Amino acid sequence: MSGLPTVPEAITAAWLDGVLPDQKVDAVQLEQVMPGSTTKVFVRAGLADGSEFPLCVKGVFDEPRLPVRVLAAQQEGLFFRELAPTLDIRLFRTWFAGADERQGVVVFDDLRGKGTTFTDVGAAWPKDLVAAALEVQAAWHAATWDFPADRYQWLASGNQILSAATDALFSEEHWDAHTSDPTTVAIPEPFADRARMEAAERALFRLQANSVHALSHGDAHIGNTYVDADGQPGFYDWQTFCLAPPLDDASYFIAGAMTV
């Protein structure tokens, strides 16, 4: 049986007391369950001194427990347990992170009550804020430049999300369904050749395979960012981190964060 909770009701005072360092938890109140690719469970821990401690517990706590969801949770748990403590980079405070055969869990501060704002995926940022976010990325790229691919057996080399997306997006079925849809924006002629575009994407992957790799967030779009009370940006959802060329993160973020 998994040693990590797999349903919200298993996030008990006893479990939190066991994983929170230097905190004596004697009560817990579940406030909100927010489903997603992984689930965020917002709880308020009652401490022995009478104070309360707002937390977010992230993992797979709802159905269906698809393997891809569990893998994402496990990867994030491994990131915060194994890698994050070794890096001097901007991250929110994490109290516990773990992964086992059925689950991955991260316990961190409930950022909602700390003056933090979360960015909508359709938003656009001013250039100074984009530049600040690129500095955040540069810190994790510099700290892991030319990182040995064999240091952690579970650390993927290459962006598996982009690779899997390429298989799906450039399949004839998907391409034809979307290009024939009257609501699809007009595709410029040079980009309307499915086979040509797929070949270009595959060529990019071959080029990347021979480039210097560093830690990559793997999904560094603007919808995975926040701005703290001091106006400083950060990134969350470390479920698809991998080793990849640093410009994967930078170009992906810039394209979504700025207007043309």
Q: Which two tokens stand for residue 62?
A: 């709802």
Q: Label residue 161 by pLDDT band (50, 70, 90).
A: low
Q: Which among 88, 112, 136 is the end of a domain?
A: 112
Rounded to two decimals, the pTM is 0.84
> Could you tell me where the DSSP H helices lie in the chain?
13-19, 67-78, 127-143, 160-169, 172-179, 194-209, 247-257
Q: Which among 77, 112, 147 is the end of a domain?
A: 112
Contact 105, 78 (CB under 8 A): no
Q: What is the mean pLDDT of residues 187-200?
A: 91
Both 71 and 97 in one domain: the answer is: yes
Both 124 and 71 in one domain: the answer is: no
At 204-245, the pLDDT tens digits run 888 888 889 999 999 999 999 999 999 999 999 999 899 999
Question: 160 phi and psi, to 5 degrees?
Answer: -70, -30
The domain spanning residue 107 has which CATH number? Answer: 3.30.200.20
At 48-107, the pLDDT tens digits run 888 898 999 999 999 888 888 999 999 999 999 999 999 999 899 999 999 999 999 999
Side-chain-side CA neighbours of 120 within 13 Å: the count stands at 3
Domain holding 182, by residue range, is: 117-257
